[in-house]
Structure 1
Amino acid sequence: MPDDRMNPRSVWVLVCEDDDELGERVAAGLRAAGFIVDLTRNLADAGRNCGTRRYDCLIVDRGLPDGDGLDLIRRQRESGLHMPALVITARDSPADRTEGYASGADDYLTKPFSLGELAGRVRALCARHLRPPAQVLTIGDLVVDRLRRRVQRNGVLLIMTAREFCALELLAARAGTQVSYAELAEYCTETTTVATIEDVVHRLDRKLGEPQLIYATGAGYLLHM
């Protein structure tokens, strides 16, 4: 039976944008694409909404009247909520992007942007978050067989410890999005400290070889081909 959550008409999105015209256009565009949308214009209102409703995706601006939209993402991550978060902003420097990912953002879209692209990114983020993971994960030349607990890179079988496989399994299942230290610690229940996670991922990265697949984001790691 199909999962109704994969239908964008059942996906609830919170938009936090202080520009009245842009906020209304974004909300209208997402509603036209089939999403249910709540529009807020500051962190205080957005925080209150998040406290009373479980959203499937957050879309936040950075330059808000009462602070940086990244603060909302940080608070949600610290409270244990891992819904996808997309930043829309005019700040487009590499340092700004790095800060966004380090704060827990899953995607970063700079202004100006098309409403079609925004809706497509939201749909893709939610689909990756809600879709049951496949038994065999393939990212480029990397193959992770979750059932047999086997890993191959470019056809070569790689020997993994239980912790290394656990970390790789989560990173591969979430390929293209940041996985935080907290998420890795929760998924790999015996790996509870940042130092231990860093050690496990460092050893995993060496075993995977070149070209590099795993990148540190400051708040976790990202697996990307």
Structure 2
Amino acid sequence: MRILIVEDDEALARQMRDSLVEAGYAVDHATDGEDGHFLGDTEPYDAVVLDLGLPVLDGHSILKRWRSDGKVMPVLILTARDGWTDKVEGLDAGADDYLTKPFMMEELLARLRALIRRAAGQASATLTIGPLTLDTRSGKVSVEGKAVKLTAQEFKLLAYMMHHQGKVISRTELTEHIYDQDFDRDSNTIEVFVNRIRKKLGIEIVHTVRGLGYQLDWQGEGASARTA
């Protein structure tokens, strides 16, 4: 999952970025409203953390522009203001949730997990398909109750697919959502990660749809017809 932080407070942005990266997210950061608007307008994010009091272009203006342009990614606004009118204005501008500074990083992570789940049509913090389970809170993966150890990149890829069960996902889409902007992206590594995940899971659940990408789907032990 890929997150955009738009925050001009460098210390706070660094704390958020470190916490999000440790939790398994790919993270981009913009320090002013103009850069933040550009990134949100041109890059695919699973969620955005948006400060309201930004230089160049304020958070409300950014959010209104995104929504008017049809951008639907979940947005969590940050504000140092306690006035209820600022919160209402942010929500009416298209925000999905808000946090008032100061806040605990654990709450930020929990709210982002909830926003991403809801955007993907998932209600529970524990994602399950067939015998495969992924706990978005702890980052643990298991098959039939037995723990499966994945690398950070393997977990990111599987988590994205778990949030989009049944959807055919291209290599390009996976690349865009598991790497941040500064990473030297190579879509060819996606196939390597997929093969490693298949071996570690030990079940036929990640299928190759030739010419299109991959699909996470469970039809029992006989579901191997689409797997390359």
TM-score (norm 1): 0.53
Give the distance between the partners of 1:92 and 1:130, measured in 2 at CA. 31
SS in structure 2 of the partner of residue 113 of structure 1: coil
State the one-letter code of the partner of 2:23: A
- The question of whether the paired residues in 1 share the 8 Å contact of 2:34 and 2:57 is answered with no
After superposition, what is the alpha-carbon deviation per residue over 1:132-170, rounded to whole angstroms, capped at 9, x for unaligned?
A: 68xxxxxxxxxxxxxxxxxxxxxxxxxxxxxxxxxxxxx
**1:114 paired residue number:** 104
**1:30 paired residue number:** 20
Percent identity between the two aligned chains: 41
The reply to whether residue 57 of structure 1 matches residue 53 of structure 2 is no
Give the distance between the partners of 1:95 and 1:49, measured in 2 at CA. 27
Give the distance between the partners of 2:18 and 2:60, measured in 1 at CA. 23
**2:207 paired residue number:** none
Give the distance between the partners of 1:124 and 1:60, measured in 2 at CA. 16
- The question of whether the paired residues in 2 share the 8 Å contact of 1:61 and 1:87 is answered with yes
- The question of whether the paired residues in 2 share the 8 Å contact of 1:30 and 1:119 is answered with yes
**1:66 paired residue number:** 56
State the one-letter code of the partner of 1:48: F
Runs of 4 or more consecutive aligned structure 1 residues displaced over 4 Å after TM superposition: none
Note the aligned Cα RMSD (angstroms).
1.6
**2:66 paired residue number:** 76
State the one-letter code of the partner of 1:29: S
Give the distance between the partners of 2:111 and 2:121, measured in 1 at CA. 15
| Residues 107-186 of structure 1 aligned to structure 2 (within 5 Å) | 107-131=97-121
**1:177 paired residue number:** none
- The question of whether the paired residues in 1 share the 8 Å contact of 2:47 and 2:74 is answered with yes
Aligned residues: 124
Give the distance between the partners of 1:112 and 1:99, measured in 2 at CA. 20
State the one-letter code of the partner of 1:24: R
**1:91 paired residue number:** 81
State the one-letter code of the partner of 1:17: E
**1:46 paired residue number:** 36
After superposition, what is the alpha-carbon deviation per residue over 1:174-212, rounded to whole angstroms, capped at 9, x for unaligned?
A: xxxxxxxxxxxxxxxxxxxxxxxxxxxxxxxxxxxxxxx
Give the distance between the partners of 2:101 and 2:10, measured in 1 at CA. 15
After superposition, what is the alpha-carbon deviation per residue over 1:49-107, rounded to whole angstroms, capped at 9, x for unaligned?
A: 12331111111111111132121111111011111100111112111111011110110
SS in structure 2 of the partner of residue 63 of structure 1: coil
